[in-house]
Amino acid sequence: MWWTRQMAVASRCQLQRALSTATSPHHLGIIGVPFAKGQSKQGVELAPDLLRQNKLRQVLQSSDERLIITDYGNLQYAVDETLLQQQRQHYHHIRNYADFMACNLALIKQVQQMLQQNAQFLTIGGDHAIGFGSVAGHLQHTPNLSLVWIDAHADINLHSTSQSGNIHGMPVSFLLQQLRGTWQHAAIDDIAPNCLPKDQLVYIGLRDIDPYEAFILNKFGIRYYAMDSIDRVGVPKIIEMTLDALNPANKIHVSFDIDALDSNVAPSTGTAVRGGLTLREGISIVEALRDTKRVQGMDLVEINPKLGSERDVRTTVDSGLEILKSMFGYRRSGARYYSNLDTNILGHEQ
């Protein structure tokens, strides 16, 4: 037989080289943000470490071997006197304003640093109040950005419209130019001047919209695909309309609130709403966004391990990991990159 073991190895190496130059390594930065003060239930702060214990890194790594993952640990922040004063003077009616701002200011810087060092980043909450810092940081690095907010809730309350006083129901109002003015005492223009244009925001999965939120969405003509329209036209059409709405030259930020998924697959969350996306629908949406190759940042928020049974927590964490896996490369079709496949298994005559 003329074909030697060395030749087999050599040709395999050539194949590997061809594959890996076609698609080079890819850096992903991860930051945990154990922030729980955007709402009143303890437990969301445990999610970043819980996901790590449940092999977040290995799950992502095996969904795409070419990922080079840097975990930046959990974000730290300190509240200063200026913020406490803003809270006392202007925002005493919303819970934990100073903590919210301090955490998000730190996150804005962190995200910019991660994007200097990585092609993509992942922010793990924490409650959805951190959606402000994650997207705002992203916008300061990449001003031409589109945002897909996948959630049961619109999280677009103003301090004057919120019925709960919970700031995890308000982060989007800090991002849009038209609404930022309602936070005039927060001085966010100094630290995060770039805003999100309202036509580059799409919501998917909504089913619990407050009256004033509905007013705001309609007044500004913000695109939102609530569960009723998803039921009417189906997920593939919703994906198509979403992608049509976004500027194809923009990078994309995906902010994924675990409560977008139905409470049977994501029970351990603070504001669960029934009748949500199935896990398969969630995966389809995330796969389609991933396939644009424009997603540069993602959040996964609102997993609360203190709510529900042990099994509920397991289910919720597993669903979260499935969503992340799909975003960062896993293909249900099996069409993935494998560096050390033995291409000779059928014998060289094949």
Ligand X SMILES: NC(=[NH2+])NCCC[C@H](N)C(=O)O
Nearest Cα residue to 175 out of 145, 219, 213: 145
In the complex, least distance from residue 57 CB atom to ligand X, rounded to whole angstroms: 26
Choose the stretch contacting ligand X; rule: CB under 6 A; options: 106-114, 152-160, 225-233, 311-319. Answer: 152-160
In the complex, least distance from residue 173 CB atom to Mn ion, rounded to whole angstroms: 13
45 lies in the site for ligand X, by CB under 6 A: no
In the complex, least distance from residue 211 CB atom to Mn ion, rounded to whole angstroms: 17
Strands ordered across the beta sheet of 120-125: 67-74, 26-33, 120-125, 295-301, 251-257, 145-150, 201-206, 223-226
Choose the stretch contacting ligand X; rule: CB under 6 A; options: 47-55, 118-126, 154-162, 248-256. Answer: 154-162
Report 93-132 residues binding Mn ion (CB under 5 A).
128
Q: How far apart are CA 139 and CA 203, in angstroms?
A: 18
φ, ψ dihedrals at 128, nearest 5°: -75, -5
The residue from 34, 43, 169, 329 that contacts ligand X (CB under 6 A) is 169
The residue from 64, 99, 281, 302 that contacts ligand X (CB under 6 A) is 302
Per-residue burial over 156-187, b if 16 or more Cβ lie within 10 Å, else e, is bbbbebbeebbbbbbbbbbbbeebbeebeebe
Report 255-274 residues binding Mn ion (CB under 5 A).
257, 259
Amino acid at 166: N
Nearest Cα residue to 177 out of 218, 204, 138, 139: 139
253 lies in the site for Mn ion, by CB under 5 A: no
In the complex, least distance from residue 265 CB atom to ligand X, rounded to whole angstroms: 16
Q: Which residue has the tokens 């991933």?
A: 290
State the binding partner of 162 from Mn ion, ligand X, none, CB within 5 to 8 A by kind.
Answer: ligand X
Amino acid at 134: S
Which parts are annotated binding residues? 128, 151, 153, 155, 257, 259
Which parts are annotated binding residues for Mn(2+)? 128, 151, 153, 155, 257, 259
